[in-house]
Amino acid sequence: MAKLVFGMNQSLDGYVDHMAFGPSPTLFRHFIESTRQQAGSVYGRVMYEIMRYWDEDHPEWGADEHAFAAAWRSQPKWVVSRSLTSVGPSATLVKGDLEGAMRALKAERDGEIEVAGPNLARSLTELGLIDEYIIYLHPVVLGHGAPYFAAPRPPLRLLSQDLIDENVIRLVYVPA
């Protein structure tokens, strides 16, 4: 049985913003390896559209960007959206019964399935379907933006913590 894992970069004041701060080379390599090991990803529309950047090569990319793109392209993706009518390669559009679709996905797959985006994570948290929360805590204060927890934080228990690079701590929580 697969587990759904919501993980994102977060500022010290609780916000996520892919444009405000990015991963160091060490953290980016960590994400490459994590993506290679995942059984797939579940996206909301907004996060999926951001990640579509990796569908095509860009001339300014180095080896790490090509490695991440290859890992991302090769994994299955499920895109939860009421407005999209189609999705790109290796992606399946999920409409309608979110709970039923995610329970079926967890039952038919093995491994870790990434949940991407705080709004989708909020819906899955409310349904009791997130198995693990990973916060990559950056020493940045944003003061505004999308919060990591788009709804009240569920009761959590710290499972582990580790230093990924000189500035980023990975905190892993499970529902209490």
Q: DSSP string of 97-156? A: -HHHHHHHHHHH--EEEEEE-HHHHHHHHHTT---EEEEEE-S---SSSEESSSSSPPPE
pTM metric for this prediction: 0.94
Answer whether 8's CB lies under 8 Å from 148's CB.
yes
The phi and psi torsions of 72 (rounded to 5 degrees) equal -65, -45
Architecture of the CATH domain 2-175: 3-Layer(aba) Sandwich (3.40)
Cα→Cα distances 88→38, 77, 109, Å: 19, 9, 21
pLDDT tens, per residue, the chain with 176 residues: 999 999 999 999 999 987 888 899 999 999 999 999 999 999 999 999 999 999 999 999 999 999 999 999 999 999 999 999 999 999 999 998 999 999 999 999 999 999 999 999 999 999 999 999 999 999 999 999 999 998 888 899 999 999 999 999 999 999 99
For residue 160, the cross-strand partners are: 172
